[in-house]
Amino acid sequence: MPPKAVYPQADIAPRMHGQAEGVSEGRWRYALAPLGWALGITFLQHLLLAAAQGFEPRLRFETPFEGWPLHVFTGWDAEHYLQLAQNFDVYAWPPLYPLLLRALGTVLSLAQAASVVNLASHAAVAYLCRALVAGEPRLAGTSPALVTFLLLFWPGHDVFFAAYSESLFLALSLGAVVAWQRDRPWLGSLLCGLAVLTRNMGLFLGLGMLLAEAWGMATQRMWNVRRIMAVSAWVFAWVGWTAWLRFVVHTDPVEATRAWQAELLRHHVPVGDSPKGWVLEYLFLPGHKEWLFAWTAVAAGAWCWGQGMRREALYVAIFLGSHLVYLYRPFPFTRYVSVLFPVTLAVAAWLRRAPGLQPLAAGAALLFSLQHQARLFLMQMGEP
C-alpha cells in the first residue's frame, strides 16, 4: 500500500515561515486563497454573462439574487434539471442534484438554489485542487492556483454556471480522490457513491479506484480484503440506484436516452456508417477542434500513469474506453471537464519548471474561454 499522505496544513506554514506570527499568517493564506480564487472566477463569469445579455437575449439565464454578482444558465439541459427539481419523473437522470435543488427550494427559488450549489462547489473545487496537489509528491512544485484556474476556465466551463450537475459532480469526484489519497477509503467511497448519484460517470471514477487498488496490491503481492471492501463500498449506491430504476419504476436508462441517439443518427451519421465508428472518427481524427481535446486527454492520462497517479489515469482511460460501448453525443467534448480534470494537473505540472510561462498559460486559457463563450453568446456555437 502507498504510504499515507501527509496533510499539507501540518507542514506548509512552518516551511514558509519561521515564527509563530508567520505560521498563523501562512495558515490564513492557505485557508483564504482558494476561496478568493473561486469568488474571483465566479465574479468574472458574472461579468461575461452580464455582457452577453446585450448580444443574445435568447440565451436563458437569470440573476437569481438581485444586486449580487451571480448568474445561472437555465436553458439547455438545465431545463431538465429544473423540471426534475419540481417533479422527479424523468428517471434516467441520477437523483442527487435535482433533489438537492428541491430541498434548497423550500427556502430559495430553484435558480437561487442552483447558484448556491455552484458557488459552494467552486469553492470546494479550489480547496480540493490545493489539497490534491499538496498531498501528491509527484506534483511537488505544481501551482494549485494554476490548476484551479485552468480547470474553472476549461473551454466547456459554461456548464459550471448552469443549473446543471457538473460543478457538484466535480467537487464530489475531487473530494473522493483526495480522501483516497489521504488513505481514507471509506470517506472516498462515500463521496464516490454521492458522485454516482449525481452523474452516471461516477461509475468510471469508482472503477478506476478499484483497478488502481488491485494493481497496487498485485504488484506488492499483498491482498487486503478489508481495504478492498472499503474502496468498493461506493458500489452499493450504484446497485441501489440501478435496482430502483429496474424494479420500482421499470426504466432502462440506456433506453431512456435513445431519443438523443436517434437525433445523432438522423442529423449527423451518414446512412450505412457505424454510429460508434463515426463518433470515434469525429473525436480522434482531424477535421474538428474536438480531436485536439480528445488526444490531449489521452496524453494526460498516459502522463498520469507514468507518474504513478493510477486513479487519475484509469478514470480518464475508462471514460475514453466507454466510447466503444455507449453511443455518446461527441460535441462538444469539452463539456466533460469533470472527467478530464487530470488534464489540468498534467499541464500545470509540465509548467512547474517554467514559472514564466504559467501566466501565459492562464492568459491563453482565459482568452480561449472568452472566445468559446462569445461564440456561444452569438449563437455560433453548437453541433457541426
Q: Do the domain assignments include residue 171? A: yes
Residue 91 falls within a domain, yes or no? yes
The reply to whether 1 falls in a domain is no
Q: What is the pTM of this model?
A: 0.87
Question: From CA 4, how far away is CA 174, in angstroms rounded?
Answer: 18
* 382 located within any domain: no
pLDDT, tens digit, for every residue of 52-98? 666 666 667 788 888 787 888 887 778 888 888 887 665 667 889 99
Residue 93 in contact with residue 80, Cβ under 8 Å? yes
* pLDDT number for residue 380: 63
The DSSP-derived string for 168-198 is HHHHHHHHHHHHHHTT-HHHHHHHHHHHHTT
H or E, element range at 345: helix 342-350
Mean per-residue pLDDT of the chain = 82
344, 362, 360: which is closest to 303 by C-alpha? 344
2 is a domain residue = no
Q: CA torsion sign, 11 to 16 to 17 to 23? A: negative
Query: Quick check: is 173 in a domain?
Result: yes
How far apart, in whole angstroms, are the C-alpha atoms of residue 198 and residue 253? 14
Residue with C-alpha cell 449525481? 198
| pLDDT on residue 132 | 94
pLDDT of residue 22: 46
Split into its structural domains, the chain has a count of 1
Q: Could you give the C-alpha distances from 292 to 3, 248, 336, 343, in angstroms and in order?
A: 36, 43, 14, 12
Residues 6+ apart with CB under 8 A from 193: 202, 206, 233, 234, 236, 237, 238
Q: Would residue 23 count as lying in a domain? A: yes
Query: With contact defined as beta carbons under 8 Å apart, do 127 and 34 qualify?
Result: yes
Q: Which residues of the chain have pLDDT under 50?
A: 1-24, 384
- Structural domain range at position 367: 8-377
Asked if residue 3 belongs to a domain, the reply is: no
Residue closest to 313 by CA, chosen among 347, 285, 346, 349: 346
Give the count of beta carbons closer than 10 Å to the beta carbon of residue 211: 17
The 8-class DSSP code of residue 72 comes to E
Amino acid 9: pLDDT? 37
